[in-house]
Structure 1
């Protein structure tokens, strides 16, 4: 075994992000599940987002980085409970199983929504990158919903 390899603990390396958004759960749901809306806040190339939001349905999007790089992403929906919960599978190069991320929406008072994003990764490096990316997404979603 190489000294740089890591052994993944049985529960992996998880992160959880929680926010309260100033929008009803149905509005937040639409932002995550309507391609044109998703593309506006999720750093996607125009016209690159396709979504078949149902269990077993597929999705794809091309993310554009601040320096103009483009990264095509694909995956599927593992669990769909409208206005409440999405479990998204994300295909990762070189991995036999998709990475999964869950998005939970809970209605709050005054038309607000609590969102919880959770993912478990195989290494601390993957977790740190995924958490950074999810934090950027939630920041952008917050700005999008405020507009």
Structure 2
């Protein structure tokens, strides 16, 4: 996995890139189907709802390794099936959502390059978001490998 951190004039950014051993359609389905997303993204059972279309809402209650739970909500800002998902995440106390972009680029019909990008207000927020995104990519990779084995 490659990681790039930048400090832009308007915030602190990161980009995580990984090549997954799955076609783009399978990666897309894992990220945009509530049942699959809940399996790999550490969401509480029954908490994930997704209306995957521009302006559509999503929500999930994430479960931390120590058993803590925290609800997340937001909306989809841009959707290009099997290629691009721009996700707005509501942040308590902030008027604008945090925005994460997921890009998929199928390599050869069997592998997909995924890039997650996000710009945050502070270096601390960026580092925490990047850590969470890295954990998501680790879990997604393991989920897709398990799916391929079935």
Equivalents in 1 of 2:144, 2:67: separation in Å? 24
Equivalents in 2 of 1:50, 1:120: separation in Å? 25
Q: Which has the higher strand share?
A: 2
Q: What TM-score do you get using the length of structure 1 for normalisation?
A: 0.93
Equivalents in 1 of 2:133, 2:73: separation in Å? 16
Map of 2:35 onto structure 1:
36
Equivalents in 1 of 2:56, 2:92: separation in Å? 20
Equivalents in 2 of 1:63, 1:110: separation in Å? 32
Structure 1, residues 30-53: CA drift from partner, whole Å, max 9, x if none? 000000000000000000000000
Q: How far has the Cα of 1:110 moved from its partner? A: 4.9
Q: How far has the Cα of 1:109 moved from its partner? A: 1.8
Map of 1:15 onto structure 2:
14
Corresponding position: 1:107 with 2:85: no
In structure 2, the residue corresponding to 1:45 is in which secondary structure?
Answer: coil
Q: Would you identify which runs of 4 or more consecutive aligned residues in structure 1 move more than 6 Å? A: none
Map of 2:142 onto structure 1:
143
Aligned length: 140
Larger Rg computed on CA atoms: 1
Query: Aligned ranges for residues 1-147 of structure 1 at < 5 Å?
Result: 10-147=9-146
CA-atom RMSD in angstroms: 1.1
Q: Show structure 2 runs of 5+ residues with no match.
A: 1-6
In structure 2, the residue corresponding to 1:128 is in which secondary structure?
Answer: helix
Q: How far has the Cα of 1:127 moved from its partner? A: 0.1
Equivalents in 2 of 1:103, 1:109: separation in Å? 19
